[in-house]
Structure formats: C-alpha cells, structure tokens
C-alpha cells in the first residue's frame, strides 16, 4: 500500500485560510489503512478545522467527502457535483489522488493534506515500513523475498556491506540489515550457497531516473 | 449553556445515568474502548466545556483492552486539541475503582475548567455548522 502521513496542522491551516468553502476529501484505500486519510481522518481533520476557524472567528464552511479510490477518475466523479460547489479542496489522499483531483477539477485549487511517504506494509500494530522502491525490475526471487533496493540503506544488490553489526544497519540500530535477513532466510531454506552468485548490475532505466514512467495495456481498451 | 460531556463505561457505575446536574451530558458506553477521538473533538466543536472519560481499571475491563484503548484515544485527542489551541486538560480520564466518588471527581474537574477559563489563554469555541455529504 501507499503510506502517507499528515502534514503539520499549521501548514494546512495557512493554505486554506483564504477560502470560505472548503471540502476535505479522503480516500478509503491505502491512506485509510495507514490511518492518514480515511473516513475517520476526514472527520477528525474537518472537526479540527471547524474548531480552529471558529476560534479565529473566521467564516468558513467545511464539508466532508470520502472517495473509495481517489486515484480512479470514475470514483471521483461520484462526488464531482459536490466538489465543484467548493472554493478549494483539501485532499487527504496520496499524491496520486491529489493529482487526479487536480486533473478533474482544474479550476479549483487542490491542497495536499498529507505527505506521501513510501510503498510499504503494516509491519507492527503501530508501525508501517517501506517494502518496495518501484524500481521496475524485480529481483525478489534472488533475495528470498526481501527487497535489497528498498530495505538496504545502500540498496546493495550484493551484500551485506561492512556496516552490518549483529543484524543491524550502521545507519541506525532501529534498522535491520536487509542482507542479514536475506542470508538468514536463505540459510533456513538451505539455499545459502545461491548467494555466492553475484547479482549483476540492474537496468536502472526502468526506475524513476528515466523520467515519468508509463504502462500501456492494449488489451484493456474498451 | 456549556456542558461537561461524560463518556462512561457501563461497568463503572451501571447502565443508568448517574448525573442529574444540568451542566453534565452523560453517554453510557458498553465499553470505554468504543470511544474515538472524533467524539471528543465534536464536543468542543459544539462549544462544550470539557470532556470526561470514565473507564475501568486495567484488570477489570471486560473486553480486556477497552480501557487501554480509551486511554490511547484520549491521549491522541489531547494532541489534536493542542493543535487547535484547546488546553489538553479540558479532557479528563477517571479510572473507576470501588468506592470512587464520580460526582466529587466531576465537581473537581468543573472547578479546574473554570480555573482554565479564568487564567488560560484559550476558551471553548463557538458552535459551528457541521455538514457532511
């Protein structure tokens, strides 16, 4: 899922202050799972904004909506009429949702309420961790299902480096060494010898460095 | 008139309403773990005086973790209120124990809220319109 976290409240307030009709638009998918932009968070954000602006005696009308997937144009359409009646939108979806809203409503200012952080998983009850860097050339079969690009601080394809210490990364004791985990898992599988094969340099032209990526599925044409 | 909103677990004094005072609005919950931050925020959105959450002791909670959840939700709500310049002490938790005098506790809380009103830089907000699609 895409993991995001809320922007500082003062930053949000400063951005929407000039407007008198604002809608808080959430997304019921990834950002709801990471407790950043789902229905509950929309209610909390809207409530906080109402309290903050009523204390400033500023006349503002805050409304709420939550879209099932804000990255899907068809789903945005369900609340289009309501959004078009607003002066501004505070989108608490990921960056994709914010851009999709901006594309659908080009004349309405859309403000992001979240900082989109990474693609990750719910690792512990209160913790989300990065799992995929979207490099476009997956090597997980070679590394026991642990991504060295996203989870090794140096994105090493052949590790570990000299900075590993008792299974931890030299960057921080909180960060497990991805390569120590890869070796441990391969050892448990009895496949540790496979790690003696050098993984060749990746083709990075599939990664972000090549500019905006596109994917075309001709068979998906209506 | 401003009220103190009381969210009380039914295990802490029974299912019937305990408070007859006109400055109290009481909500009896089947478990304090049902409480969510939005319930606390909406009280202040409606211009109320303060919120009091009455929960069981940790080893007496019939849903095992309900009271711990309530404490976590109150902590989060206090943080959210701080962001809109409402004093976090306007939300109080009471851990209900045998012999606990809830009326006395609530009166103390009322006095504390009056003190905050008199000496604090903040005050409770006006009622604002709530709209939802």
The answer to whether the CB atoms of B38 and A54 lie below 8 A apart is: no
pLDDT digits (tens, 9 = 90+) for B20-55: 999 999 999 999 999 999 999 999 999 999 999 999
pLDDT digits (tens, 9 = 90+) for A59-93: 899 999 999 999 999 999 999 999 999 999 999 99
> In the predicted model, what is the mean pLDDT of residues A133-148?
96
Looking at residue B130, its pLDDT comes to 46
Give me Rg for the CA atoms of chain A. Answer: 22
How near does any CA of chain B get to the CA of A9, in Å?
7
- The candidate with the shortest Cα–Cα distance to A96, out of A130, A69, A77, A121, is A69
Q: Which residues of A touch B42 (CB under 8 A)?
A: 47
Higher pLDDT, B127 or B60: B60
Q: Decide if pLDDT at A161 tops 60.
A: yes
DSSP A133: -
What's phi and psi for A48, nearest 5 deg?
-60, -40
According to DSSP, the residues that pair with A168 across neighbouring strands are A165, A176
Q: Decide if pLDDT at B131 tops 50.
A: no
The answer to whether the CB atoms of A51 and B130 lie below 8 A apart is: no
Domain boundaries, chain A: 2-118, 135-200
Answer CATH for A2-118 from 3.90.700.10, 3.40.50.2300, 3.40.50.970, 1.10.10.10 = 3.40.50.2300
Question: pTM of the entire structure?
Answer: 0.90
- Read off the pLDDT band of A164 (50, 70, 90): very high
> In the predicted model, what is the mean pLDDT of residues B67-96?
96
Going from the C-alpha of B133 to that of each of A63, A81, A129, the distances in angstroms are 7, 11, 33
Q: Average per-residue pLDDT in chain A?
A: 95
Looking at residue B126, its pLDDT comes to 45
The rounded distance, in Å, linking the Cα atoms of B14 and B54 is 12
- Read off the pLDDT band of A209 (50, 70, 90): confident
Domain boundaries, chain B: 4-118
In chain A, residues 32-91 whose CB comes closer than 8 Å to chain B: 40, 43-44, 46-48, 50-55, 57, 61-65, 79, 82
Q: What is the ipTM of this complex?
A: 0.87
Answer whether A86's CB lies under 8 Å from A63's CB.
yes
Answer whether A107's CB lies under 8 Å from A88's CB.
no
> In the predicted model, what is the mean pLDDT of residues A94-121?
97
- The candidate with the shortest Cα–Cα distance to B96, out of B17, B22, B16, B7, is B7
Tokens at residue B77, please?
A: 């709500």
pLDDT digits (tens, 9 = 90+) for A177-192: 999 999 999 999 999 9
Question: Does B38 reach chain A within 8 Å, measured CB to CB?
Answer: yes
How near does any CA of chain A get to the CA of B58, in Å?
20
């Amino acid at each position: 899922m895409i993991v995001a976290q809320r922007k500082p409240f003062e930053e949000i307030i400063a951005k929407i202050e000039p407007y008198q009709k604002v809608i808080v638009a959430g997304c019921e998918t990834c950002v709801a799972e990471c407790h950043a932009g789902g229905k509950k968070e929309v209610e909390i954000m809207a409530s906080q904004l109402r309290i903050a602006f009523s204390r400033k005696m500023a006349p503002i009308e805050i409304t709420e909506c939550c879209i099932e997937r804000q990255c899907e144009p068809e789903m945005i359409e369900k609340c289009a009429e309501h959004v078009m009646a607003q002066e501004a939108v505070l989108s608490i979806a990921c960056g994709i949702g914010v851009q999709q809203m901006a594309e659908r409503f080009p004349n309405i200012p859309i403000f992001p309420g979240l900082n989109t952080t990474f693609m990750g998983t719910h690792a512990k009850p209160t913790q989300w961790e990065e799992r995929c860097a979207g490099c476009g050339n997956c090597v997980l079969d070679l590394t026991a299902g642990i991504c060295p690009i996203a989870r090794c601080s140096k994105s090493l394809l052949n590790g570990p480096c000299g900075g590993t210490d008792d299974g931890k990364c030299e960057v921080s004791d909180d960060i497990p060494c991805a390569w120590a985990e890869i070796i441990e898992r391969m050892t448990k599988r009895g496949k540790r010898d496979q790690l003696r094969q050098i993984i060749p340099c990746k083709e990075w032209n599939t990664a972000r460095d090549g500019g905006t990526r596109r994917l075309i599925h001709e068979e998906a044409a209506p | 008139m401003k009220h103190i909103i009381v969210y009380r677990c039914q295990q802490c004094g029974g299912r019937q309403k305990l408070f007859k005072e006109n400055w109290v609005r009481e909500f009896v919950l089947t478990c304090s773990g049902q409480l969510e931050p939005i319930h606390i925020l909406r009280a202040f959105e409606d211009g109320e005086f303060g919120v009091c959450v009455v929960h069981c002791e940790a080893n007496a909670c019939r849903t095992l973790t309900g009271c711990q959840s309530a404490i976590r939700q109150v902590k989060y709500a206090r943080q959210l209120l701080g962001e809109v310049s409402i004093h976090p002490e306007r939300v109080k938790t009471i851990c209900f124990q045998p012999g606990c005098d809830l009326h006395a506790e609530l009166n103390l809380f009322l006095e504390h809220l009056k003190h905050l009103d008199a000496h604090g830089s903040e005050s409770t907000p006006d009622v604002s319109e709530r709209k939802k699609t």
